[in-house]
Structure formats: structure tokens, C-alpha cells
Structure 1
Amino acid sequence: MSGAFAQQADTAPNDFEQPIRVKSDEQFVDAKMKTSVFEKNVMIRQGSLLINAEYVKVDAINGKGKEVFTIKGLPASYTQRLADGSNVEARARQIIYDIGTRTIALEGDAELIQNASTVKGDSIIFDMQKEQMRAQGNSGNDEQVETIFTPESSDDEGEPKGSVSNSQGNEPE
């Protein structure tokens, strides 16, 4: 994991203790199967965590506090304020938010932005509790994971902001 993503990944205080609110144009609940489906203009909020999508399925079969949200959009997006006041942002065609493990899995054209760094890949898993991120490229298309570090702007002497691109394949750990 890059140093930029290792820093300050704590979420805003009490986010995970807040109720999860879901708004949508349409909702369907199957109490027997313990699933809910939300469609069209879906917005999920839990403290500072905000997810926007077109389709969300919530599987609550494992009980309260262990729900799994399968979120789809073109793209679906996720934003959360960190303890230091900065935001982490993500987008992908599909996001799986696992309440029990406090992980966000981004699948399909995945992108995660934190501080001045951006990671792009076919899939990214962000563990909010362990402060860890793992990304994979799409080996079928020879697409690698790309990390972009954007340095902070220097003093007011007019030096431009730059970026460094670091494409990485499957490196041993």
C-alpha cells in the first residue's frame, strides 16, 4: 500500500455507530429472504459516508450489523470524511459495502482517491478498519494498476503542480 493511502485512513468519529439511511425512487423488501432492493437515484448515508447509485441490494441474512450492500451504477460513487478532515472518494461500476468487515470492494473501472493520490484498476478493496488497500489490474486486457501521486503545490513562486505515474503489475509481496 502506498504511503499516501496509509496515512490518516481513520474514518470520521462514530461513522460506523450511525444509522444507515437509504433513499431511492423505488424500494422492494422481501422480509422472508431478508433482502431489500432500492432502485433509481439511490443515496446511502451513514455519518459522513455517502454512496450514490442506480441500484442497491441489501442482504441481511447474516443478521444485524452484518449486512452486505451490493451497489451498481455507471459509475456508483462513495465518499467518506476521514478523521483528519480530508475525504476519501471512490467510484466503480459495482461497489460491495460489507458492514460486518467494514470493507468497500470496487469492481469494474475502479478508482480510489485519497489526499493527493489516485489508484485505478479493475478492482480495489479498501479496508476502512485496517487502513489497507489492495488493487488489481485486468489481466485479460493486459491492464495494470495505476497509481498517481500528485505533489502538493510548492510555495508561491509559481512552480507548477506535477504528477508522477507509477504503473505496477502483479508484484510479489
Structure 2
Amino acid sequence: MLKRFSSLLSKLILVALIPSAVMAQGKSDFSKPMEVESSKEELDIKNNRLVLTDNVIIRQGTLLIRADRLEASASESAEQADIFIAEGTPATYSQTLDDGNEINAEAKKITYFQSEQRLELSGDARISQGSSSSSGSLITYDLNKQTVTASSSGEEDSRVITIFTPKPKTDTDEKNNENP
């Protein structure tokens, strides 16, 4: 009886821990330093603004953003930049989550709000994970909550498009279908 109870208790604890493990995906990146590099850099100390151009790369753990131009700015009270606006044809984003899955995104403009752990993709925005993808005029990705919101430009022919690609069938799947 005690053995059965401890087995049940351990299963309940495991189930209780699963949601927190899912919520933790990608969070380890945000405790790592951010490295920004480019071919050219202009710093406006008075206005707390940094502009980088030509082959801009931002790395923070597995998070990677590539762009043609990046503007980093901070409020007067902030000690370092907190808002990063990457522009490109397109600018790209990728990150490997803690479970090994990778998220990829691209847009003409990617705004990264570092303290909020939020990305805003605008202008021909697309985000994908695995074989599924979404596209629209504006996509907001909350890195902390792991939620994506997409919207169209509001024009009549503008729509949000989501594509779910089915998993390819394997030989085992086809044998199972033959023998119901």
C-alpha cells in the first residue's frame, strides 16, 4: 500500500513540474550576456543611442538576430540599452529552446524589448517552429510566456496565414494502417 501511494505521489509531482519546465523554455538565454557586433558603429552618448550597420549580429545564449542595421537605445534612467530595433531585407531571429526545438523568424523590422523578453516583428513577418509557421503584417512573440500573436495590416486582402504541415508517414505508420 505504501509503495502504491509513493508511486502515485511521485507521478503527481512529475505532472505538477511539467508546466514549469515548459514555461522555462529558452529562459536560460536571458541570464547570459548579450554580444552585438557589426562592421560599423556610431555611439551618441548624449542621447543614449547606438547605431550599428553592415552585417549586424546579436547573440544572447542561443538567441541570434541578424540585420543590416540595428539601433539600440536606453531611457535616461537605464544603465544600458534595453530596446533593440533591427532592420533588414529581412532581419532574422532564431533561438533554440531548452527542449531542443528551434524557433525562426524574419521581418523587415524586429524590435527586441530585452527587459520584457518580447519581440515585435513587422513588415512581411513570419515565424516558424518545426514544420508549422505563421505570417502576417505584425507578429508579437512573448519569449517569456512562449506566446505568439499575429495580425494583418487591416487592408482588405491582408490576412494572417498559419500553416500546419503534417508529420510525414513512416513505414511503421503505413503497416499499422494496413492492419486495423
Give the TM-score normalised by the residue count of structure 2: 0.79
Shift of the alpha carbon at 1:32?
Answer: 1.5
Give the TM-score normalised by the residue count of structure 1: 0.82
Higher strand share: 1
Are 2:140 and 1:130 equivalent residues in the alignment? no
Aligned residue number for residue 7 of structure 2: none
**Of 110, 132, 137, which aligns to 1:95?**
110
Shift of the alpha carbon at 1:11?
Answer: 3.6
- Per-residue deviation, residues 123-162 of structure 1 (Å, max 9, x unmatched): 1000011111110012225211000001211222697xxx
Tell me how far apart the structure 1 counterparts of residues 119 and 125 of structure 2 sit (CA, whole Å). Answer: 11
| Contact 1:60/1:68, CA 8 A, preserved across alignment | yes
Aligned residue number for residue 71 of structure 2: 57
Shift of the alpha carbon at 1:115?
Answer: 2.3
Aligned length: 153
Shift of the alpha carbon at 1:14?
Answer: 1.8
Specify the code of the residue in structure 2 equivalent to 1:147.
T
| Contact 1:106/1:124, CA 8 A, preserved across alignment | yes
Specify the code of the residue in structure 1 equivalent to 2:152.
G
Structure 1 residues 90 and 32, CA gap change in structure 2 (3 angstroms): same
Say what the alpha-carbon RMSD is for the aligned residues: 2.0
Report SS of the residue matched to 1:140: coil
Aligned residue number for residue 164 of structure 2: 149
| Contact 2:48/2:74, CA 8 A, preserved across alignment | yes
- Aligned counterparts, 1:17-166, within 5 A: 17-61=31-75, 62-64=77-79, 67-156=82-171
Q: Which has the higher contact order (CA 8 A, sep 6+)?
A: 1
Structure 1 residues 108 and 119, CA gap change in structure 2 (3 angstroms): same
Report SS of the residue matched to 1:150: coil
Structure 2, unpaired ranges of 5+: 1-21, 175-180
Structure 1 residues 132 and 12, CA gap change in structure 2 (3 angstroms): closer
- Structure 1's consecutive aligned runs of 4 or more residues displaced over 6 angstroms after TM superposition are none
Structure 1, unpaired ranges of 5+: 1-7, 160-173
Shift of the alpha carbon at 1:12?
Answer: 3.2
Identical pairs, percent: 34
User: Larger C-alpha radius of gyration, 1 or 2?
Assistant: 2
Higher helix share: 2
Structure 1 residues 34 and 134, CA gap change in structure 2 (3 angstroms): same
